[in-house]
Structure 1
Amino acid sequence: MNQASGPLATRRFQQQPRPRLSGRPRLHRAWFVAAVTFVTIIGAASFASLPGLLIDPLNREFGWSHGTIGIAVSANLALYGLAAPFAAALMDRFGIRQVVAVALTVISLGAVLTVWMTTAWQLVLYWGVLVGLGSGSMALAFAATVTNRWFVAKRGLVTGVLTAASASGQLIFLPVLSWLVVHHGWRPAAITVSLAALAVVPLVWILLRDHPADVGQTAYGATEFIPKPPPLTGAARRTVGVLLSAARTGPFWLLAGTFAICGATTNGLVKTHFVPAAHDHGMPVTAAASLLALIGVFDVVGTVASGWFTDRFDSRRLLAVYYALRGISLFLLPMLLAPSVHPPMFFFIIFYGLDWVATVPPTIALCREHYGEDSAIVFGWVMASHQVGAALVAYIGGVVRDVFGSYDVIWYASGAMCAAAALMALVLRPGAGGAVSTEALADAVG
């Protein structure tokens, strides 16, 4: 549970509902909160489906190079990650509902403003900055915060399901958005994304609750009622303090390094460049987008299964296996791209889809194992490294395509990085259940 630490622990808890002794619903309220979180992340995932679809249309309409467009994608991905740890702290201060509702509104605003852009800096501002900050404020750190507050049992499974929500959003929106881009242009696609994000806001405001104590319940699987902690002030200061304290430990750098490679080889590489790379080989955009959506189908299966495995097996070994298999698939991809879809490509899609974000549940579990009550914020910083890795490869991939006329070099380099990530995961040692102590945090923030 996210509770106050250090001096905050001495504060008196605010008045709140006491647990109900009878008449409890058969289905725990935590599952309703998880369901709303799932739908919310799907709505936010819609904009993440667009980058790979818009590279060629923007190149044709404005004459912007792949590298120039890659700068906007990189800004989006980097801010997506850098906003996450601060968002986790803001949720402790203002509540989950308020932060998520504002984030969805910012995403909607950024998406609709792109319709009127005429220069590359506007693409960077609207698509990169606004949407990056909005989506980062309610990404995987949002899922980690909900899981930590509402669940004690089945945390791995719930993490897997919520992580799969982004893949489900990709599955839902990619075919629709690709059809819109091909038949009506990229602007209707951007408007569709804006409306999808905005439509989720009322659902969040009405149904989402910040803490089990708000409805007089215990967390799912908890044996005793825990009052809601008072709001934590100094969100930015606390977020930076947790980073400084965690950065003194080896596991943080290993987790951040492996997750940077995870982001580089998923959001940065495949999600951004798979469609234009397939199109380079003569494959229609709609067919390539459908393949990317199919990755989302198997991603849901793989991520939920990974959550189940995380509850039962060593997270370090799971990560090593996931990264090794991903590296092998990336080495093989250049040989599979062709004008039409052949059976070997389906094997890649299934294989890569199962492994897409299967790394998230064991990574969150390792953060919880090593950093205890600060694990959501630590994971936010680990998530930041994920997006920085994605941002670098999104840009580098575009430059490689401009220079060599092909993406082959970046596919092979990413496969090698996955091999390195597998070795880094094996180096991790078991955690002691909270490496970031209260005293260390107090020292870090001065």
Structure 2
Amino acid sequence: MTDTPPAPGAMTQADIAEWRGGWRTVLGAGIGMGSGVALYLYVASIFIEPISAEFGWSRGDLALGGMISFMSGAVTLPLIGRYIDRIGFRPVAIVGSIGLASVYTLTALQPGLYAAYLALMIAGGIFGGGASSIAYTRPVIAAFAGQRGLALGLATAGTSIAAMIAPPLLAYMIGEYGWRVGFFTLAGLTGIIGMPLALLLIGRAREAHASASDEIDTHAPRVADVSFRDAIRTRRFWLLIAAIACINIPGSGVLGQLAPLVSDTGLSDGAVAIVMSIYAAGLLIGRLVTGFALDRFPAPWVGAITTLVPAIGIGLLMWPAPSFALAAIAVAMIGAQQGAETDLFAYFISRSFGIKNFSSIYGVIAMAGALSTAVALISFGKIHDATGSYDIALTIGAVLFCLGAVAFGLIGRKPTKAAMAAPVS
């Protein structure tokens, strides 16, 4: 009697063994990402009014601090990635989380000096990189091979869950006890609860140098790790740079202007709030569905399809006087792609270039994504100011999403030439 081969897409015994040994790593990474710098990104706007009222700073003053923080974090990501590759993710996550918690604490204690606020924002951007997905995806990709896509999807879902839970919690703390207690709460969530619990769950998860391969099945040919220098010489690396820029400019531009953009369609304030919640749900669904699909279908096609979906969403959003249902579907489609982003790039980088230099390569690609986000945050608002509508910005965004889909489609499934040429250890 012969063993019946598993059905296509079904879990094998090796897959089950991966989950048996790695579910704690996924849970820990999700908690780490959800309580790291992503947590602040979801609640930052809640602090604007109370801080502005106490110190007399304008919203533009506070936005400048946020932009400086974002840029300082972006340019340090390659360095953080390099340190992760050299010393492991744990020391970087510990320093990043404690540093970020310290920034929150000092912000709560600061007397209202704008220069001090800007300095703290710069420090927050730098430390935040160590408390982000660049650190916590590392143990996940090291612990999973056949189920790597789904594992990444579940781990990055931690930020989506944080986006649902944190805003009402922080709004309550600020409303009852003031914005300073809100920052103390963030410090506790990041440095006292989140990071220690994440590392406890991850335990001594291996950081072995897994083989690089674009094939989904376990019979894929083994491909060696690729050095950082060789990686940046490949076409695939630059296609990933192009893809993340084409995704982040429209995705971040829409997110940064989401409330006024949806409001301009004629929906009520209550409907706009619900649509924004649907965006958060789209993030979660996008992460889970993309992770599941990456383990079962050709990754370039998964990337291309998930990047075409928000282009359709933008088209629906530009529909004259869209109904609530149409606007909700459109925003969910855009949110789903933004949720898929971390899954896609962590998966492609690990499958294309291996794990030994994963964080260094990821850091450079993430920096490109962060810089393109900064461009989006400025340009979408400026285009609206100049034209009186978001139509031109949305049209450009739809075109960029399509170009991003093309970039994914051009990546191909075969391992990079650099990986094929490198010796297998």
The bucket for the TM-score relative to the shorter chain is 0.7 to 0.9
Q: In the aligned structure 1, how far is the partner of 2:39 from the partner of 2:337?
A: 21
1:166 matched to 2:159:
yes
Q: CA deviation at 1:167?
A: 1.5
**What is the percent sequence identity of the aligned residues?**
18
**Cα RMSD over matched residues?**
3.8
Q: In the aligned structure 2, how far is the partner of 1:204 from the partner of 1:368?
A: 22
The answer to which of 113-122 and 180-189 deviates more is 180-189
Q: In the aligned structure 2, how far is the partner of 1:100 from the partner of 1:142?
A: 6
- Aligned partner of 1:36 in structure 2 is 28
The correspondence of residues 282-301 of structure 1 with structure 2, limited to 5 A, is 288=272, 291-301=275-285
Q: In the aligned structure 2, how far is the partner of 1:317 from the partner of 1:346?
A: 26
One-letter amino acid of the structure 1 residue matched with residue 369 of structure 2: H
The answer to which of 315-324 and 175-184 deviates more is 175-184
The correspondence of residues 404-415 of structure 1 with structure 2, limited to 5 A, is 407-415=390-398
Q: In the aligned structure 1, how far is the partner of 2:180 from the partner of 2:170?
A: 10
Tell me: CA distance 1:208–1:260, structure 2 relative to 1, closer, same or farther (3 Å): same
8 A contact 1:260–1:385 mirrored in 2: yes
Q: CA deviation at 1:307?
A: 0.9
Query: Where do 5+ consecutive residues of structure 2 fail to align?
Result: 1-16, 209-216, 220-225
8 A contact 1:400–1:409 mirrored in 2: yes
8 A contact 2:30–2:158 mirrored in 1: yes
Q: CA deviation at 1:195?
A: 2.5
Tell me: CA distance 1:395–1:130, structure 2 relative to 1, closer, same or farther (3 Å): farther
The answer to which of 36-45 and 129-138 deviates more is 129-138
Q: CA deviation at 1:319?
A: 1.7
1:259 matched to 2:244:
yes
Q: In the aligned structure 1, how far is the partner of 2:268 from the partner of 2:50?
A: 13
The correspondence of residues 27-106 of structure 1 with structure 2, limited to 5 A, is 28-44=20-36, 45-54=38-47, 62-64=56-58, 66=60, 69-106=62-99
- Aligned partner of 2:10 in structure 1 is none
- Aligned partner of 1:315 in structure 2 is 299
The answer to which of 154-163 and 358-367 deviates more is 358-367
3-state DSSP class of the match of 2:354?
A: helix
The correspondence of residues 19-418 of structure 1 with structure 2, limited to 5 A, is 28-44=20-36, 45-54=38-47, 62-64=56-58, 66=60, 69-115=62-108, 116=110, 118=112, 121-127=115-121, 129-178=122-171, 186-198=179-191, 199-212=193-206, 242=228, 244-266=229-251, 268-275=252-259, 277=261, 288=272, 291-333=275-317, 342-373=324-355, 374-400=357-383, 407-418=390-401
Tell me: CA distance 1:109–1:273, structure 2 relative to 1, closer, same or farther (3 Å): farther
One-letter amino acid of the structure 2 residue matched with residue 365 of structure 1: Y
3-state DSSP class of the match of 1:50?
A: helix
Q: In the aligned structure 1, how far is the partner of 2:240 from the partner of 2:18?
A: 38
Query: Where do 5+ consecutive residues of structure 1 fail to align?
Result: 1-24, 215-220, 224-238, 441-446
8 A contact 2:282–2:335 mirrored in 1: yes
Q: CA deviation at 1:436?
A: 5.3
Q: In the aligned structure 2, how far is the partner of 1:145 from the partner of 1:386?
A: 18
Q: In the aligned structure 1, how far is the partner of 2:105 from the partner of 2:366?
A: 26
The answer to which of 427-436 and 35-44 deviates more is 427-436
Q: In the aligned structure 1, how far is the partner of 2:71 from the partner of 2:389?
A: 25
Tell me: CA distance 1:438–1:100, structure 2 relative to 1, closer, same or farther (3 Å): farther
Deviations 1:236-259 (A, max 9, x none): xxx9x71x4322111111101111
The answer to which of 298-307 and 367-376 deviates more is 367-376
Q: In the aligned structure 1, how far is the partner of 2:282 from the partner of 2:330?
A: 11
8 A contact 2:28–2:198 mirrored in 1: yes
- Give TM-score, length-normalised by structure 2: 0.76
What count of residue pairs does the alignment treat as equivalent? 388
3-state DSSP class of the match of 2:203?
A: coil
1:435 matched to 2:418:
yes
- Aligned partner of 2:8 in structure 1 is none
3-state DSSP class of the match of 1:435?
A: helix
Q: In the aligned structure 2, how far is the partner of 1:98 from the partner of 1:64?
A: 38
Tell me: CA distance 1:197–1:222, structure 2 relative to 1, closer, same or farther (3 Å): farther
8 A contact 2:26–2:152 mirrored in 1: no
Q: CA deviation at 1:156?
A: 1.0
